[in-house]
Amino acid sequence: MYGSICRKDSDVKEIRDRITKFVVICTLAAVLLTGTVSTVTANRIVSSSAAECMQMQCDVTGGKVNELMNSVESSVRFLCESTYAYIDSPQDFANDIVSMNNYDTMMTAAMKKLSESTSGSMAVYYRYNPDYTTRMKGRFFVRSKETKAMREEPPTDISAYKSTDIEHVGWYYEAVKAGGPVWIGPYHNSNINRDIMSYVVPIKIQGTLVGVIGMDVDFRYIADYIGQISIYDTGGAFSVSDGKILQYDNEKLIRIPVENISGYQELYAAVHSDQETSGTYTKNGKQSVFTSKDMNGGLHLVISAPTAEIYKDSYRLILLITVLMVASTAVILAISRPICTRIVQMAYTDRLTGLPNREYFRDIYDSRMKEKNIQSTMFMLDIDHFKMVNDTYGHAVGDKVLTAVAGEIRDIFGKNAILSRWGGDEFVGIIPSDGDLERCRELCQRVSEDSTEICAGGYTLSVGLYRIRENMAGNNIENMVSKADMALYEAKGVRNCAMVYNKMGADCKPDRNGAEN
């Protein structure tokens, strides 16, 4: 068990792994920080670009729809102004059949010409108030699907329908109710079987309601124009009016209340808010970004695109950063592990003897041994009269002596010890207490016998031991080294022997019988 926690190779690997982990964490932190900043910046740019792009599309498309509807309003206003200019007295006009016929001729030519030249115009009409006159009903022109020219149709009999019947007479009663120019719809007009929007102006002269003048716009024309909008992969546009989303299904206009569609309430609230013209909403679990624009006639244009499509380049950047982090980790591990191993070995190994140095001994003791409850012995030894060896034979021979002693220590204690060159000719280590004195004596004997192979005068060792009986976590390394050094001091008084420190503190004496005093 002792040897399993004290092998130098495993400890070096542990220290190396700590350094490698630190390098990897620092590198990943740098990559992550750079990636986060890049992603946030990219998202900000993408978000701003998407908002600008969608708003520009809204402005362009909404502007064209408004332009179309403005032209309808201008045409109807011209007809109204002509009427006001022609009729001075509604009472006299109602009784003058000639004036009525002249007015009819003038209006017929003007209506047809204006309607044919107005984009999106599908029908144009002037209709007398039946309570004002029954001599004439008015005129009604509808654009032909085949020739695109305006053809006359019989005016609708207003009295045949209730005022609440929007599909037949909404164009009349809604205008009268409004008391001024008004856009009506979108709605289905059953008279001509079309989905339309109507711009109608009630004609009042001297307090008398003479009738109404109006022009109808084919709503399919507007819907198709909006439907052509395409943004990103699946983004598009639709219109909202009076709390309803307007869609076509099998050529029929469908008005879907916003509250009936899950996820659209947030969108509708934003569209109708004076403070917000863009935002996000969620439908079927997917988030989309939208931009809206108010248009004439109570219409709202909405352009939206899924958030995932808008930010797909950002998501690719995140994926790239993730791949880069993984690749960086692999590269750093491949490069740094051998480098760190070499650095650790150089930092913790005595270059002359190949044994661990003092720094290694301290770090390993602090990080590993203090956590273990092991009966151990600390030894400290040095070479007797080593200075004389250096002075007599030279430092080169002294280095050989140090290397030879290190080899003997390694052979005697093997892997079951923490060994180190403490400094100079001193060596320190921790070994199992079982048989510690016998092995130290064996070490002294082997060194003495082999010493003459290096220098003629030979050399010997002196060893001091301190037995660590209690939990090592309660021992201070400096205190233990000091006690082992005291035992070494006593041993050097005898030379070529091992002394054991008396933990009761009485004194240190040679253990001639192989037992501690």
Q: Over the stretch 406-457, which tens digit does the pLDDT of each residue have? A: 999 999 997 778 899 999 999 999 998 888 999 999 999 999 999 888 988 8
Catalytic residue (choose from 218, 425, 436, 485): 425
Q: Which of 475, 510, 471 is nearest to 489 (CA)?
A: 510
Q: What is the pTM of this model?
A: 0.59
pLDDT reading at 124 higher than 90: yes
Lateral strand order in the sheet of 426-432: 418-423, 426-432, 376-383, 461-468, 498-501, 508-510
pLDDT reading at 4 higher than 60: no
Give 343-361 pLDDT, tens digit per residue: 777 778 899 998 999 888 8
Lateral strand order in the sheet of 236-241: 252-257, 244-249, 236-241, 299-306, 286-294, 278-283
Q: Which of 257, 248, 198, 194 is nearest to 224 (CA)?
A: 248
Beta bridge partners of 139: 126
Annotation marks residue 384 as catalytic: no
pLDDT reading at 249 higher than 60: yes
Residue 371: per-residue pLDDT? 54
Q: What token pair was written down for 341?
A: 């191993």
Distances (CA, A) of 188 to 37, 219, 238, 254: 54, 9, 18, 10
Local confidence band at 272 (pLDDT 50, 70, 90 cut-offs) = low
Q: What token pair was written down for 381?
A: 């030894």
Question: Cα 87 from chain centroid?
Answer: 70
Q: Which of 218, 215, 220, 228 is nearest to 246 (CA)?
A: 220
Give 151-202 pLDDT, tens digit per residue: 999 999 998 999 999 999 999 999 999 999 999 989 999 998 889 999 999 9
Mode of pairing for the β-strands spanning 461-468 and 498-501: parallel
Residue 374: per-residue pLDDT? 63
Spatial CB neighbours of 495, under 8 Å, sequence gap ≥ 6: 384, 460, 462
Residue 358 region by backbone torsions, left for phi larger than 0, else alpha for psi between -120 and 50, else beta? alpha
Local confidence band at 471 (pLDDT 50, 70, 90 cut-offs) = low
Average confidence (pLDDT) over 486-492:
93
* Element containing residue 334 per DSSP (H, E): helix 312-348
Residue 506: per-residue pLDDT? 43
Distances (CA, A) of 46 to 42, 51, 233: 6, 8, 15
Mean pLDDT for all residues in the chain: 83
Give 89-119 pLDDT, tens digit per residue: 999 999 999 999 999 999 999 999 999 888 8
Average confidence (pLDDT) over 488-493:
93
Q: What token pair was written down for 458?
A: 């030979």
Q: Which of 272, 302, 307, 267 is nearest to 287 (CA)?
A: 307
Spatial CB neighbours of 393, under 8 Å, sequence gap ≥ 6: 455, 457
Q: How far is residue 273's CA from residue 264's CA, in Å, rounded to a whole number? A: 14
Q: How far is residue 388's CA from residue 92's CA, in Å, rounded to a whole number? A: 147
The 10 Å CB-count burial string (b at 16+, else e) for 328-361 is eeeebeeebbeebbeebbeebbbeebebbbbebb
Contact in structure between 103 and 87 (CB atoms under 8 Å)? yes
DSSP 8-state class, residue 156 = P
Beta bridge partners of 140: 125
Give 148-158 pLDDT, tens digit per residue: 788 999 999 99
Read out DSSP for 257-311? EGGGSTT-HHHHHHHT-TT-SEEEEEETTEEEEEEEEE-GGGEEEEEEEEHHHHT
Q: What token pair was written down for 397?
A: 């021979």
Contact in structure between 317 and 40 (CB atoms under 8 Å)? no
